[in-house]
Structure 1
Amino acid sequence: MLVFHKLLYLSIESDKENGWQGLPRLLLKSPNLQTLVIKGLVHKVTYRCGNACVCTSKPKKKELYKRYEDVSPLYEVKGMCCLSTCRVKVLEISGYGGSTGEVKQMRHFLGKLKYLETVKIGVEEDNNNNGENLRANIMTLDRVSSKCNIQFI
């Protein structure tokens, strides 16, 4: 895959039927990416993608793990988190609902994106009544970047 040196802004939309197999490699090949926009944090978790990066994938069967090892050269270093090398400064999430999977994904983003300065989270309209709980849960998550400011939009 080519290296996308000029890619500064990336916007993706996720859904429950599609995995994020290509996202880790794309993030690794975008060394100057500054803004990552994701509409929805839901996706089909596969043994190849985990939650946005291969380091969180947990195969359930030995044969899946074997296949996972076989594809790891695609991610350059086995077990490497694509987010830890990512220079994203702005992360925008829309349609956040606060499900267990979404919280896990947010924890992973906040815990690995070390250059993160701003996180903008749009709470799903159905959760307006529960918005304060969602906000409180997000604010308790650890952040690797001391400059990280979380905004709710």
Structure 2
Amino acid sequence: MKNQNLFNIQKCPNLETLVIDGPLHYDEDRPKSVCDCLSGYSFLLSCPLEVLQITDYSGTTGEVEQLKHFLEKLSCLRLVKLHCPKRHGGDKKKLLMLPRASSKCKIKVTFS
């Protein structure tokens, strides 16, 4: 995910579903922090996004931090679909226990 994609999300005030076709972008130099391209975007707090799908989630430290950021900011989120190649999606139990802004948000993890 690049800055341009986030800019496009901000320009779509009625966006309800977002599919990230590939892995989550993160700063490899600082894997335990939220990438600068996401950290300054306060519009996520009011974004009506209900479904977030990530097609290539590997569960790296950086991806978990980015996912946590989405979960903590997107208060309308109802479903997060993570598709993980070959059981490399990290610990499923830990993913399911991540804190969320929406009490209605479910996380669905599938493996190929």
Query: Which band: TM-score by shorter chain?
Result: 0.7 to 0.9
Gapped regions of structure 1 (runs ≥ 5): 1-13, 15-19, 56-79
For the 8 Å contact 2:57–2:84, the answer to whether it is kept is: yes
Which residue does the alignment assign to 2:109? 152
1:123 aligned to 84, 92, 96, which one? Answer: 84
Q: Do structure 1's residue 85 and structure 2's residue 46 form an aligned pair?
A: yes
Superposed CA RMSD: 2.2
Deviation per CA, 1:83-134, whole angstroms, max 9, x where unpaired? 1121110010111111110000110010001000111111122xx2x55x52
In the alignment, which residue of structure 1 is the partner of 2:31? none
Q: Is the contact made by 2:53 and 2:81 (CA closer than 8 Å) also made in structure 1?
A: yes
Give CA-to-partner distance per residue, 1:11-47, whole Å, 9 cap, x none: xxx5xxxxx12123212111000101112113567xx
Any unmatched runs of 5+ in structure 2? 29-33
What is residue 11 of structure 2 aligned with on the other side?
29
**SS of equivalent to 1:53:** helix
Question: Which of the residues 96, 99, 107 maps onto 2:57?
Answer: 96
Counterpart CA distance in 2 for 1:86 and 1:137 is 25
Work out whether residues 16 and 50 of structure 2, in 8 Å CA contact, stay in contact via their aligned partners in 1.
Answer: yes
**Partner secondary structure for residue 109 of structure 1:** helix
1:136 maps to 93
Question: Residue 41 of structure 1: which of 9, 24, 42 is its match?
Answer: 24
Q: Structure 1 stretches (4+) deviating beyond 6 angstroms?
A: none
Shift of 1:149: 1.0
- Evaluate the alpha carbon distance shift between residue 24 and residue 30 of structure 1 in structure 2; reply closer, same or farther with a 3 A threshold: same
Determine the structure 2 residue equivalent to 1:53. 38
**Is the CA contact 1:114–1:145 (under 8 Å) kept in the aligned structure 2?**
yes
Q: Whose radius of gyration is greater, 1 or 2?
A: 1
Which whole-Å CA distance do the structure 1 matches of 2:44 and 2:72 have between them?
A: 9
Which TM-score applies when normalising by structure 1? 0.60
Are residues 104 and 82 of structure 1, via their aligned partners in 2, closer, same or farther at CA, if it must alter by over 3 Å?
A: same
